Amino acid sequence: MAASALGLNAATGIETIKRHCDWPTLTVAIAVFAAVAVLHISIPWVVLAIAPLSFLLFWLKGHE
């Protein structure tokens, strides 16, 4: 059951990527995934560091 529950979570993530498939979304999502799943950095620190970067990337995209 846990594996199926993980599938539900993964499906939510993939569905959201499909709806917002642009370069800032992919860049930020990959950076967050790498920081948390690979480097095991605590989530509050990751959000504090990457949220301003995400705002900047979307601001830059808005001016393209």
Partner 1 sequence: MNNTALALIGVFAPLSLVSFGGARTIIPDIETQAVSVHGWLTHREFIEMFAISRAAPGPGVTLVTLIGWKAGGWLGALVTSLAIYVPVTLIVIGASVLFRRYDIPPWSERIERAMTPIAIGLILAGVASVLKLMGGTVISYAVVGASTAIINWRRINPLLLLAGGGAVYAVAYLRT
> Applying CB under 8 A, which residues contact partner 1?
1-17, 20, 24-33, 35-37, 40, 42-44, 46-47, 50-51, 54-55, 57-59
Nearest distance, CB of residue 31 and partner 1, angstroms:
7
Residue 13 corresponds to which tokens in the numbers above?
């993530």
Nearest distance, CB of residue 58 and partner 1, angstroms:
5
Q: How far apart are CA 60 and CA 18, in angstroms?
A: 21
Specify the residue, 8 or 64, whose C-beta has the smaller distance to partner 1.
Answer: 8
For 6, the enclosing helix (H) or strand (E) is: helix 2-19
